Structure 1
Amino acid sequence: MACRISELVVDCADPELLAAFWSEVLGYRELGREDDGSIEIGPPGAGPGGPQPTLVLSPSSDPRAGKLRLHIDVSATDRDQDAELERLLALGARPVDVGQSGAESWHVLADPEGNEFCLLRARVRPL
């Protein structure tokens, strides 16, 4: 038997802001809140332990140091990469430079708190 990723935890200054952003990006909904201010979001109709990992946005006042060592990659399900890039930028994502050459097939973006993520070129099927 092996493990699988069930939750991704993102420390952040404003869980409300990031929960709203990532819910729009991923088509997720709020699954729950903890007394510490954490907000868990995930796919509609699913809960913790479902087939896709959920995101837990956890409040933290710790400063971030440098580029993230782990980031999220997203792929559009119902439009091409250019159209999805426009949608993500309209939601509040912004382009960032982490040393890419310009020849990449993906776009490096940051969420409203500056956490890097990549928009890949290939479309994937929705679950």
Structure 2
Amino acid sequence: MDFWRLGSAVALIAALAACGGGSDDAEQKDLFSVWREQGSSTPVDLTGGAFSTPLNFSLFVTGGAQCNCNMTLVGDQSSGAYVINSCRFVAGSVAQDPGCSALSDTGRYTNLDGILTTTSDTGEVSTYR
């Protein structure tokens, strides 16, 4: 009899998994993906990243200048903290650093239902999809 209960439980779990588990939640997007800020077409590429390990990524500032920075994420796929530092000017429409070397930021992030939200310690909120 226990064998049949176990078999029924396995069948029920398999059926729920096949239909999405009965949840209406949106698909979770991997934190270490390419994101686009809402209202912008500029990508933020976090692919290849890992928790607690600096990830080199690019920021684009006014005038099209490219700044390469390090971002470290501490937490998990759903939430945690971030640090952006060690920014340097790479290229752009100007001949000298437009302020890349002064860029740095710390804050928190959430990754829920395919939406990445960052909240800087200064209170600035950004949303990415």
TM range (shorter): under 0.3
TM-score, scaled relative to structure 1: 0.22
- 1 or 2, which has the higher strand percentage? 2
Relative contact order (alpha carbons < 8 A, sep ≥ 6): 1 or 2 greater? 1
